Chains A and B, each alone.
Chain A
Amino acid sequence: MKLFLKTHAFTNVFDVLSRDYLQGKEEVLRLSVIALLVGGHILVEDLPGLGKTTVALALAGVTGLSFGRVQCTSDLLPSDITGLSIFNREEGHFSFQPGPIFNNIVLLDEINRSMPRTQSAMLEAMEERRVTIEGVTYPLPDPFMVFATQNPSDQSGTFLLPESQLDRFLICTGIGYPEEQLERQIIAGGGIRELVSNLMPLVTSSEIMAAKNDVQAVYLSDKVLSYIHNIVLSTRRHDLILTGLSTRAAINLAQASKAAAFLAGRDYVAPDDVKNIAVAVCAHRLTMRSDMNTTDRGGVIRTIIASIALPLA
């Protein structure tokens, strides 16, 4: 019952957002919440103008978490994100001015436009959850989540994220165009940026922290564990794939499944949870064989999953 109430708070978040503000973006919203609950990061790959930023803003608004935004460009320096020490003339010493990364939810817009140096500084911060500037280590707030976006079509003057960096994102997903009917409504109603910026928080920070603990406590049975392991092993044996999923990927898949189960109101992971989230968690981590680079990775993961029987008993 306790669990139900906690879950209820989050499903409520969901319902409010997808019904009132972000029609047609339930999936990306759900994945964002999963990333938030697990303490991972999300990379949204899609064309501009489909509401990537709006989703991040809305999520921040509804959870009452602090929000920072970085618009990545090729001349963006690491210190522009992490912050820097500025000499305070009145007090006579350097004082640290925290950058936008010192927020609970950080939107890194068009992450592939920044230089590799900046990218790696950001990704290091994402992994370590702390920033060291001039010998002083500053911890990042908790919960902390990076909401990165990248534009797959416009590749000129961009620096693609290397595979090792992609592995640090828990989830990578697209948004896609809204349904026809829905899009007409959105067009008629105009943008919702204004609305989103005035959102009232529906959950508190402490509730989120408690929910994160509950997600860790979700039961993962041996059967489902074997199922996850089978998926991972299959990617390593697959003909089209050069390197399969890492152990970190497997851990992430298990964690994301737990969060998905939590959101579905259960205290145990069902194979369905794994199956539903596997593409988002796994596809971007695969390194395809050089001649197969253009293959749809999501499709490969889906065929692998279809070939493995769900443990029903």
Chain B
Amino acid sequence: MVAIRSLTAILTYVIGLCGMIPLFPWLTTFPRVILLVGLLSGLWQDRKGSWQLKPWMQNVVIVPVFFFYALQFSHANPAQPVISVLAIMLAVRLSGEKSVRHSLQIYTLSMFCLASSSLFDLSPVFLIYLGLLLFMVAFALVLLTFQNQDHAMMVSTSDLKKILLSALLMPVFAVPLILFFFPIMPRTQLPLWYFLSPPSLRTTGYSDTVEPGSQSSITETRSLAFRAEMPRQAQKQLYWRGTVFNRTDGNKWTRISQIPTEQPEFTGQTVRQVIYPEPSAGRTLIALDRPAALVMQRVIRSPDGVFELSRLLGGRLSYSADSQSNGLIAQRNAINRRFYTQLPDLLPARIKALVLEIARAGRDDSARVEFLENYFRNGGYRYSTVDLATGDRALEQFLFEKKQGHCEFFASSFALLLRAADVPCRLVGGYLGGEYNDLGGYYLITDAKAHVWVEAYIDGSGWVRIDPSSFAANAGEVWAASSSQNLLLRISLVLDSINYVWNRSVISYDFEQQVNIVRHVGSRLQGINPSKILRASLPYFAGIVLLALLLFAIRRASYFHNREQRVLSRFLRIIEREFSISTGDGGVGLFEIALLADNIHVSNFVKIYAGAVYHDRGLTDDEYLRLKQILRSLKGVESKIS
């Protein structure tokens, strides 16, 4: 036997927690503390069984809080006061005695709290909390109706199972409706509140300038940059093109947007990919190097293969791109060599000497590139993110003294030397590599993968991708380390694929896709012969009807065979409650009940009912109506008594 009261109390706390936890990270300190205090004091008082806080005290407390936050409310700050009031009201209700009315208020407040958490965050965890909350509220509501009838009611475990089952049915029946509404309801792709005032967004792993020597060491962040849905590629080809830097002052590389036109020829095989970037403040769109085409609205395409949004879009987006990933892009016409050989006025003497050496290697571009590659490969350079060269002469230090640095050092020094040797080149910023998630069929690229490499123009072939970092002596171990898949990584990949599915099919499911579905359905419908459909669907339809009939029959057979039994059980309930006559298991005859009850309605009921039943016939409609009327008047007796 279980006391309904303790059950509802537990459910109420769990429901309260389901509302609190998702909202908690977004609250300010004061509501957080109040929430915790409210929850704990409620639990403590529930344990003791006595309630120091009376409802009127609580109501008095809420009023000033409400006014305080109402004054804080403004267009610039609409969300925080609302959620604070919600949280504090929830806390106050949790701390008080849980009457039926207060329990219902807690459920509502929890729902509101959970809903308001979606103003800040649209993660799949929301769905879990919502499912939990819906199920538990349904269960608790059923229990509360019992508690409302009898405060100290006890139920057996088997009855509890039945209640649980019927409560479970409610959300389960709602699932088909949810599935139906999901594709057609309007939606938002971004948390509403963030949309209104985006907080400082994640900065991308690569910046809009390349300036080796500005820091003595860099720390890598493992936050997600983007996902790319595509078939698995050779790891060596995974260069993700972001932006291009075409100007240098010797230390710093920047981008200027007036770029001479180019006419690239994409002759090789292209790879189709769909990119799902994490929301960021950058406008550059990433794609596998080098994107031939990128399908997205309001995109500006630069001649050097950089794609940028014309204005910043908040929230999640997705776009598809076709890329040729072999690292060589032929040009139909000659490029503007002057633009890509721009140099600062002064170069350090040691670099000048090195450039002379390069120039001696040969007249054409490819010979000079090859010479420089060999110079780097044999120079004993090491890849490192600590103990870096700094200051104005950082590149010089890197080349001739420290001989260790990260990709920016390698790439910018390499490009500087090429330009000094009159080979056109530019720096490309983006990402390198990525973890392939076999479950979801996509690459996962974190900010730690940010990378810079060089594109050199070789007359006669075109733009060639050169990664100077790969010439480092320890390049093999640096690159190999990331490819080993340990268990933790695999688990995180699985978890990520859940997140990915959520983002893909729920969050970034947009209006266009809705229209597509409708159009698709429409075009399918046009090509169909109606009579054919009818014939094809007839067996299904008949099956459904049969199933429904069967279920109905089983239900009738197992619960209430007919209306006679229904009426009787109602009658017996009223008799037990109102006249305190125990009618359990047919131990008392109807006429005996009438005698004991000594009530005109009761004996009338018995006369009509027994007259039908003990004649082996069902109730006529007229009798049925009269019986129901009698039951109503018996209920009237009840309310008068109570």
Contact = CB atoms under 8 A, between A and B. Distances in A.
Interface of A: 219, 221-224, 264, 266, 268-273, 275, 306, 309-313
B64 interface: no
B613 A223 contact: yes
Nearest to B589: A272
A306 B586 CA distance: 9
B613 A310 contact: no
Contacts of B565: 313
B616 A221 contact: yes
Given A309-B585, A309-B586, A268 B591 contact: no
Interface in B26-58: none
A219 B615 contact: yes
Contact of B613 (A266, A273, A309, A313): A313
Contacts, number: 56
B574 to A, nearest CB: 14
B620 to A, nearest CB: 15
Contact of B588 (A266, A269, A310, A313): A310
Contacts of B614: 219, 221, 223-224, 268-271
A183 to B, nearest CB: 25
B590 interface: yes
The 6 closest A-B pairs by CB, nearest first: A309-B586, A272-B589, A272-B591, A310-B586, A268-B614, A221-B616
A271 B589 contact: yes
Interface in B483-507: none
Interface string B580-593: 00000111111110
A11 to B, nearest CB: 15
Nearest to B611: A268
A223 to B, nearest CB: 7
Contacts of A272: 589-592
A223 B586 CA distance: 13
Nearest to B572: A312
Contacts of A269: 614
Contacts of B610: 266, 268, 270
Contacts of B591: 264, 270, 272-273
B459 interface: no
Interface of B: 561, 564-565, 568, 572, 585-592, 610-611, 613-616
A38 B592 CA distance: 23
30 contacts: A219-B614, A219-B615, A221-B613, A221-B614, A222-B616, A223-B613, A223-B616, A224-B614, A268-B610, A268-B611, A268-B615, A269-B614, A270-B589, A270-B591, A270-B610, A270-B614, A272-B590, A272-B591, A272-B592, A273-B591, A306-B587, A309-B586, A310-B587, A310-B588, A310-B589, A312-B568, A312-B586, A312-B589, A312-B613, A313-B568
B568 to A, nearest CB: 5
Contacts of A311: 586
A222 to B, nearest CB: 6
A213 B614 CA distance: 20
Contacts of A222: 616
Question: Which of B568, B586, B587, B614 counts the most chain A CB atoms within 10 A?
Answer: B614
Nearest to B592: A272
A311 B614 CA distance: 9
A312 B590 contact: yes
A268 B591 CA distance: 13
A270 B586 contact: no
Contacts of A223: 613-614, 616
Nearest to A264: B591
Nearest to B607: A266
A75 B369 CA distance: 150
Nearest to A219: B615
Nearest to A261: B614
B615 A313 contact: no
Question: Which of A266, A272, A275, A311 counts the most chain B CB atoms within 10 A?
Answer: A272
Given A219-B616, A310-B586, 9 more contacts: A221-B616, A224-B614, A268-B611, A270-B591, A273-B591, A275-B589, A275-B592, A309-B587, A313-B568
A313 B627 CA distance: 14
B207 to A, nearest CB: 82
A246 to B, nearest CB: 25
Contacts of A271: 589-590, 614
Contacts of A306: 587
Question: Which of A221, A275, A311, A312 counts the most chain B CB atoms within 10 A?
Answer: A312
A193 to B, nearest CB: 33
Nearest to A275: B589
A61 B587 CA distance: 39
A310 B590 CA distance: 9
